[in-house]
Amino acid sequence: MTDSDIETTMPIKNYRERKEVNMTSHQVTITNIPRMIVGANDIVFEVRENNIKLGDLKVSQGNLFWLSSGYNFGRVLKWSQFAQLAEEYGKRRRYT
């Protein structure tokens, strides 16, 4: 086994290092489900890659909030900003 083989098979401790390893397994878990219309309570998605928690995505009426794993401060996007990012950077595919 070479050094490069060891690097690609070792668990990743921080999601920022994921570019070095081919990641294929993703898990998204809904941690709380309020009513269908998002009201005062956010809908929280726990996002994992190869069983390593990347962070939480909180969906509310006014915005999206991303909190990276291990951090106290996150990033907020208004829905219009998210739509713009999706149009600009998202890969186009048919919704099924």
Domain containing 69 equals: 3-89
| pTM (2 d.p.) | 0.61
> Is 94 a domain residue?
no
Give the model's pLDDT for residue 73: 96
Q: Residues of the chain whose pLDDT is less than 70?
A: 1-24, 30-39
Q: How far apart are CA 86 and CA 68, in angstroms?
A: 20
Q: How far apart are CA 44 and CA 31, in angstroms?
A: 6
> Is 96 a domain residue?
no
Give the model's pLDDT for residue 91: 92
Give the model's pLDDT for residue 44: 87
> Is 95 a domain residue?
no
Give the model's pLDDT for residue 95: 80
**pLDDT tens digits along 28-49:** 776 666 555 666 778 888 899 8
> Is 52 a domain residue?
yes
Count the domains in the chain.
1
